[in-house]
Amino acid sequence: MTLLGTGAMGTALGRAWLAAGHPLTVWNRTPGRTAALTAEGAVAAGSAAEAVAANRLVVACLLDDASVGAALDSAELAGRDLVNLTTGTPADARERAAWAEKRGARFLDGGIMAVPPMIGAPGAFVLYSGDAELFEEHRAALAVPAATEYVGADPGLAALQDVALLSAMYGMFAGVTHAFALLRGTRVAPGDFAALLVPWLNAMAGTAEETAGRLSSGDYTTGVVSHLGMQVAGSGTLLRTAGEQGVSTELLTPFLDLMRERAAAGHATEDTTGLVDLLRTR
Ligand code: NDP
């Protein structure tokens, strides 16, 4: 197989394939960056076109969609199976699929849900969407660096869910950042607080399933359990505590403002699920 891009992620992927015994042709824009993989048995091609010509299965793991276009511009793609593990938007993936198919290649888009040290270890997975036959044919090779999750024929679906997962992660990072800021300079050791925070976040993560259930049923009401009215009333305590600790509320207020708006619009007995709809009305 061929791997285009031997940056941090490409090198991790390449190592996993080589370790599993897959012959690998590699290409990188800056040739020196293929050294780690050639030392482990990969063959370096002099150009992307040469690398693409070497194998039917071509995996691209480049910086962004524009770099995929730049790298493959002069390559002959007819008869190739192009698997694009470069992070992009759903529209990027759909346009790249049409571009590849017009040039005679089958196309599969992938969203890597891991950082390089996780590659080859349990917990890493890649979301795939696009050509189902390509996926089935190369499933065993694709499963070497990370578990595979095929999410549909629409090439944009992997990128959409990749970005949705990353967006949820950034929301969590924002909350964790605010929490540590509240405690900074106090007698609470960061490590002691982390021991409380991790199980708390794990317990709260389960609420995503409740949200999914409410979005499916259309019934957002929760009765007396943590409804928006109660949460909006309680939010004053969060803001006052931030003030007491000298911490900006800028990471908190966007979400609290949406809760207040939704509650004021007559939805005080619902949980936060209605904020999903509110965001889509802007
Ligand atoms: P790096 O910055 O380490 O590598 C980027 C790669 O893209 C290099 O091979 C670089 O070549 C190449 N490149 C950049 N611009 C161009 C161009 N115009 N033409 C040709 N090649 C180009 O990034 P990563 O390896 O970490 O990331 C690669 C992809 O993997 C990205 O889409 C990233 O979002 C995704 N990913 C990365 C994760 C991570 O934690 N690192 C996690 C999940 C996904 P050169 O060496 O010449 O600069």
Span between the terminal Cα atoms of the chain, in Å: 46
> In terms of domains, do 21 and 42 share one?
yes
Selection from 132, 133, 65 nearest residue 99 by Cα: 65
CB within 8 A of 21, min separation 6: which ones? none
Rg (CA), the chain: 23
The DSSP result for the chain, as a single string, is: -EEE--SHHHHHHHHHHHHTT---EEE-SSGGGGHHHHTTT-EE-SSHHHHHHH-SEEEE--SSHHHHHHHHTTS--TT-EEEE-S---HHHHHHHHHHHHHTT-EEEEEEEES-GGGTTSTT-EEEEEE-HHHHHHTHHHHTTTSEEEE--SSTHHHHHHHHHHHHHHHHHHHHHHHHHHHHTTSSS-HHHHHHHHHHHHHHHHTHHHHHHHHHHH---B-TTSS-HHHHHHHHHHHHHHHHHHT---TTTHHHHHHHHHHIIIIITTB-TTHHHHHHHT-
How far CA 226 is from CA of 46, 203, 238, 273, in Å, comes to 61, 15, 15, 12
Are residues 81 and 52 both part of a single domain? yes
Both structure tokens of 124: 């890493």
In the listed set 101, 121, 153, which residue is the last one of a domain according to the structure? Answer: 153
Structure confidence by residue, pLDDT tens digits, 173-211 = 999 999 999 999 999 999 999 999 999 999 999 999 999
pLDDT in tens, 212-250: 999 999 999 987 678 999 999 999 999 999 999 999 999
CA quadruple 135, 139, 144, 148: dihedral, nearest 10: 60
Domain count within the chain: 2
Domain co-membership, 169 together with 145: no
Q: For residue 6, which atom of ligand 1 is closest to its CA? A: 9
pLDDT average, residue stretch 126-152: 98
Q: The domain that contains 43 carries what CATH number?
A: 3.40.50.720
Whether 103 shows a pLDDT value over 80: the answer reads yes
My answer on whether 72 and 133 are in the same domain is: yes
- Residue 28 tokens read as 């990188």
Same domain assignment for residues 217 and 141: no
pLDDT confidence of 282, banded at 50, 70, 90? Answer: confident
d(CA 158, CA 197): 30
148: CA distance to ligand 1 center in Å?
A: 21
β-pair partners for 60 = 4, 84
Does residue 67 sit in the same domain as residue 207? no
Backbone angles phi, psi at 149, to 5 degrees: -140, 105
pLDDT at 224: 67
Distance 11 CA to ligand 1 centre (A): 10
Output phi, psi for 211, to 5 deg.
Answer: -60, -45
35-86 pLDDT per residue, tens: 999 999 999 999 999 999 999 999 999 999 999 999 999 999 999 999 999 9
Q: Which range of residues forms the domain containing residue 140?
A: 2-153
Please indicate, yes or no, whether residues 100 and 167 belong to a single structural domain of this protein. no
| pLDDT, averaged across the chain | 97
Q: Are residues 12 and 121 in the same domain?
A: yes
Q: Of 153, 178, 197, which residue sits at a domain end? A: 153
* Pair type for strands 25-27 and 57-60: unpaired
63, 85, 170: residue to mutate for ligand 1 pocket, most atoms within 8 A of CB: 63
Q: What is the CATH number of the domain that holds 258?
A: 1.10.1040.10
Give the atom of ligand 1 at the shortest distance from the alpha carbon of 70.
Answer: 19
267 and 146 fall within a common domain: no
Residues for the chain: how many in total? Answer: 282
Please check whether residues 169 and 267 belong to one and the same domain: yes
Ligand 1 proximal residues by C-beta, below 6 Å: 5-10, 28-30, 33, 61-63, 67, 70-71, 86-87, 112, 115-116
- Taking alpha carbons only, the member of 34, 41, 43, 38 closest to residue 2 is 43
**Among 94, 118, 153, residue at a domain's last position:** 153
Q: 139 and 91 in one domain? A: yes
Same domain for 40 and 173: no
- Percent pLDDT > 90 in the chain is 98
How far apart (Å, rounded) are the C-alpha atoms in residues 253 and 234? 13
pLDDT band at 161 (very low <50, low <70, confident <90, very high): very high
Tell which atom from ligand 1 comes closest to the C-alpha of 62. Answer: 7
